[in-house]
Structure 1
Amino acid sequence: MSSSDAPINWQRNLAVTWFGCFLTGAAFSLVMPFLPLYVEQLGVTDPGALNIWSGLAFSITFLFSAIASPFWGGLADRKGRKIMLLRSALGMAIVMALMGMAQNVWQFLALRALLGLLGGFIPNANALIATQMPRNKSGWALGTLSTGGVGGALLGPLAGGLLADNWGLRMVFFITASVLFLCFLLTLFCIRENFVPVAKREMLHFKEVFASLKNPKLVLSLFITTMIIQVATGSIAPILTLYVRELMGNVSNIAFISGIIASVPGVAALMSAPRLGKLGDRIGPEKILVAALVISVLLLVPMSVVQAPWQLAILRFLLGAADGALLPAVQTLLVYNSTSQIAGRIFSYNQSFRDIGNVTGPLIGAAVSASYGFRAVFCVTAGVVLFNAIYSWFSLQRPARFHVETPTSTTSVVSSKE
């Protein structure tokens, strides 16, 4: 047996991609704490203009990622997922280094857009693992993989703040580029994939991709669920510190307390995602998905009436535990309802919807809080998540239509009820 035909050690690939997602999540969030400060350093000093440019620099990455993801997903299905992981890690490393050399805000904005165009490590990691693991372990594996990006995103802001204080803002971009290059090297030498390139003429087109699905309406509903999950998360982000200040008053350690309250959902998600993923493998990811959405609604509503920061922190911790199950459950259902031939595109479409949620969530939160106050944001978010729970429940009840699996598929296509 040749080395290229040797069985894939998917557990090792999972471990390496987890570390790659951790490094990528950390790299992206390293620069978040001081992004407005860097925009200011590039010459934008007017407070109003600084807010606008900082918002643009933050959101443009997600916007261009949403546009580019389907293209990269199609290329992954044609050329392989490992090459897409390498392309993403190396491309982002180069862009991050260039950001450290930006001379004005226009250059920085263009590079933030390019970062979105070249991204995609995490969705391609999901697609790689989804096409290699046994189906009965998909919930646990994808839940475990999701903790990599979450863990990196939690550690990143703390590390970024410390590095910026000690080394300066520009140096953080070069350190981030080094982290991403390490991710490239790990992927290059440690991940194995047996992939036979597909000729472009043999690739399914967009309409054919959805026509090949066992339940295209369910898959579309899962995309919408992903978007709403991110809208719900992002709608609270812009107002959280201000809401904590409203609860506490102007105390000296407001930033520290806000940082803790912002971080606790991620800590809870780290703890819950693998366990709830394993439970989903046993009882069905669709049950986990709907239950987690309903629990989220029941936790969001009380957040609008809390009287102390510790009450908000407890509710957000519980919310994080529920949220830890949501995206892995969606991804597991996508695995169940697609084939390996189109997995790259299905996960990339899902990433596009996630990015759209990342862009629109903060805008909705800012608009609602400006018109109706901070507490209204939690009520509106609860209403959006309730709609998502009802919509998902009805979508998961629909019987799947008949589907003939293509001979090239290696991942079983099953209904969401199996």
Structure 2
Amino acid sequence: MPIWKRNLIVCWFGMFVTGIGMSQLAPVLPLFIQHLGIEDKAYVSQLSGLAFGITFIVSAIFSPIWGHAADRFGRKPMLLRASLGMAIVIGCMGFAHNVYVLIGLRLLQGVITGYGTACTTMIATQTDKEHAGYALATLSTASIAGSLLGPTVGGFIGENLGMRDVFFFTGALLFVAFVATALFVRESFEREDKRVLRFKEIWGLVPEKSLTLVLFATFFVLTIALYSVEPILTVYIKHLSGGAGHVALIAGITFSASGLANIFAAPRLGKLSDRIGAHKVMLASIAVAGLLFIPQAFVTAPWQLMILRFLLGLTSAGLTPAVNILLKKITPQQITGRVFGFSMSAGYLGVFAGSVLGGQVAAWFGLRYVFGLTGALLLINAVWVYAKVYRKLATQQADATVGAVK
């Protein structure tokens, strides 16, 4: 088995578990805070929002720092640091005796993250051009599926085993990821730039500055769209089912539908990106995803929402990989980790902004408006991507073809 493929398998598992670890707290957090002695419902809501959001905000700050460290010291050391650190910190959350310890540990979790940045950088730099799209697309399914399935896993364990066991289970999985990384990941790392570069010098090495910024902004918008409905999905399903039972189970299946579709479609769309160009797959995926959000506002039964969420998962599978493929294509290898670090920061901020946006729109205007607004946001982004990314890369591709013919 090629080294890049073996590393891809280990990194996929690690990112999947990390995605679960970052999101599994959502359904049990308010209950756990109440269990820790907070009884006032308004205060519970405030602390839940703080505890959930602080990890993503701090991760956005530290992701470029760990990306820089990956470029200096190698990607495998960063994988080991992040997986072991998160295993210990998340495991310790199960022993938290008050809410302030829990929030402090969530903050520390955000500081030590960086597994996804190191994985993406390693796969991007180790994989040959012929298989890069497939590899990055496959890798992207891990974090997305983990994030989407995490609330379901957390809710199931919390309900059947106990809330503290959610943290112990996730910590154990992350420790398995640490052991697998230590034993099976292979990296032949040689630092290309011996100097410590300041940000201005790093930015000077980026050849396609405007295109890079557009890709960062696009990734931010895409993440907002994917997570905007997460805070209100369970409530929406309860509304659609008319108060019938098994709301938590139906919500879990609906969450899982997008994740499973994403796992199925992403490698195939990655191969398609290798063949026809990532910019074409990205534009089509954004446009179709935007269109699929709109009818979700008009469904009348949970099964209709499940079908649309599954179709959305098939489409969204082409979004994150396309961004990563294009970033790899236009970024010099010696600063790949730092560029992917900034990209991950945009994603973390998008998760936080999407969750806040969805909750606020639902509170002010109604649940159905969240889907309409998200669809409109994606369609506007599709127009922007067409103007700033698609046309530019399509022209470059055509010029390259003409040059090759001559």
TM-score with structure 1 setting the length: 0.90
1:384 pairs, out of 377, 382, 391, with 377
Q: What is the correspondence of 1:249-398 to structure 2 with a 5 Å cutoff?
A: 249-397=242-390
Aligned to 2:80: 86
Q: 1:240 corresponds to which letter in structure 2?
A: L
2:130 pairs, out of 125, 136, 147, with 136
2:186 pairs, out of 192, 217, 221, with 192
Aligned to 1:173: 167
The whole-number CA distance in structure 1 between the counterparts of 2:72 and 2:354 is 33
How big is the alpha-carbon RMSD for the aligned residues of Structure 1 and Structure 2? Answer: 2.1
Pair 151,319 (structure 1): closer, same or farther in 2 beyond 3 Å: closer
Identity in percent = 43
Aligned to 1:207: 200
How far apart are residue 192 of structure 1 and its match? 1.3
Cα deviations by residue, 1:171-198 (Å, 9 ceiling, x for unpaired): 3322322221111111112111111246
Count of residue pairs the alignment pairs up:
398
**Contact 2:12 2:142 (C-alpha < 8 Å) held by counterparts:** yes
Q: 1:391 corresponds to which letter in structure 2?
A: W
Q: 2:172 corresponds to which letter in structure 1?
A: S
Q: 2:294 corresponds to which letter in structure 1?
A: V
**Contact 2:83 2:178 (C-alpha < 8 Å) held by counterparts:** yes
2:22 pairs, out of 28, 33, 45, with 28
The whole-number CA distance in structure 2 between the counterparts of 1:119 and 1:270 is 23
1:9 pairs, out of 3, 8, 24, with 3
1:222 pairs, out of 197, 203, 215, with 215
Q: 2:267 corresponds to which letter in structure 1?
A: P
Cα deviations by residue, 1:183-218 (Å, 9 ceiling, x for unpaired): 111111211111124676x13322222222221111
Q: Does 1:127 align with 2:121?
A: yes
The whole-number CA distance in structure 2 between the counterparts of 1:154 and 1:292 is 19
Aligned to 1:56: 50
52-61 or 239-248, larger mean C-alpha shift: 239-248
**Contact 2:192 2:334 (C-alpha < 8 Å) held by counterparts:** no
The whole-number CA distance in structure 1 between the counterparts of 2:2 and 2:38 is 51
The whole-number CA distance in structure 2 between the counterparts of 1:59 and 1:282 is 39
The whole-number CA distance in structure 2 between the counterparts of 1:399 and 1:302 is 32
Structure 1 alignment gaps of length 5 or more: 1-6, 401-413
Cα deviations by residue, 1:106-156 (Å, 9 ceiling, x for unpaired): 111011011011011112101001000011211110111122233444554
Q: 2:252 corresponds to which letter in structure 1?
A: G
The whole-number CA distance in structure 1 between the counterparts of 2:187 and 2:141 is 22
How far apart are residue 307 of structure 1 and its match? 2.0
Aligned to 1:98: 92
How far apart are residue 163 of structure 1 and its match? 3.4
Pair 416,79 (structure 1): closer, same or farther in 2 beyond 3 Å: farther
Pair 88,315 (structure 1): closer, same or farther in 2 beyond 3 Å: same
The whole-number CA distance in structure 1 between the counterparts of 2:370 and 2:185 is 43
The whole-number CA distance in structure 1 between the counterparts of 2:292 and 2:135 is 27
**Contact 2:148 2:255 (C-alpha < 8 Å) held by counterparts:** no
155-164 or 129-138, larger mean C-alpha shift: 155-164
How far apart are residue 246 of structure 1 and its match? 2.1
**Contact 1:337 1:415 (C-alpha < 8 Å) held by counterparts:** no
After superposing on structure 2, the runs of 4+ consecutive aligned residues of structure 1 that deviate more than 6 Å are 414-418
Cα deviations by residue, 1:67-112 (Å, 9 ceiling, x for unpaired): 1111111111111111111110111112112212211111110110
Q: 1:124 corresponds to which letter in structure 2?
A: A
**Contact 2:7 2:123 (C-alpha < 8 Å) held by counterparts:** yes
The whole-number CA distance in structure 1 between the counterparts of 2:372 and 2:355 is 15
How far apart are residue 257 of structure 1 and its match? 1.6
143-152 or 95-104, larger mean C-alpha shift: 143-152
How far apart are residue 397 of structure 1 and its match? 4.7
The whole-number CA distance in structure 2 between the counterparts of 1:198 and 1:49 is 51
2:101 pairs, out of 89, 98, 107, with 107
Aligned to 1:150: 144
Structure 2 alignment gaps of length 5 or more: 401-406
- Match of 2:300, SS state, is coil
The whole-number CA distance in structure 1 between the counterparts of 2:207 and 2:89 is 39
Q: 1:329 corresponds to which letter in structure 2?
A: A
Q: 1:101 corresponds to which letter in structure 2?
A: F
- Match of 2:28, SS state, is helix
Q: 2:183 corresponds to which letter in structure 1?
A: F
How far apart are residue 162 of structure 1 and its match? 4.1
The whole-number CA distance in structure 1 between the counterparts of 2:88 and 2:347 is 24
TM-score with structure 2 setting the length: 0.92
**Contact 2:83 2:177 (C-alpha < 8 Å) held by counterparts:** yes
The whole-number CA distance in structure 1 between the counterparts of 2:151 and 2:369 is 28
The whole-number CA distance in structure 2 between the counterparts of 1:92 and 1:101 is 15
The whole-number CA distance in structure 1 between the counterparts of 2:160 and 2:356 is 33
How far apart are residue 239 of structure 1 and its match? 1.4
**Contact 2:145 2:262 (C-alpha < 8 Å) held by counterparts:** no
Pair 153,364 (structure 1): closer, same or farther in 2 beyond 3 Å: closer
The whole-number CA distance in structure 2 between the counterparts of 1:234 and 1:28 is 13
124-133 or 13-22, larger mean C-alpha shift: 13-22
Q: 1:296 corresponds to which letter in structure 2?
A: A
Q: 2:257 corresponds to which letter in structure 1?
A: V
- Match of 1:237, SS state, is coil
Q: 1:310 corresponds to which letter in structure 2?
A: W
156-165 or 58-67, larger mean C-alpha shift: 156-165
The whole-number CA distance in structure 1 between the counterparts of 2:114 and 2:399 is 30
**Contact 1:147 1:273 (C-alpha < 8 Å) held by counterparts:** yes
The whole-number CA distance in structure 2 between the counterparts of 1:229 and 1:294 is 11
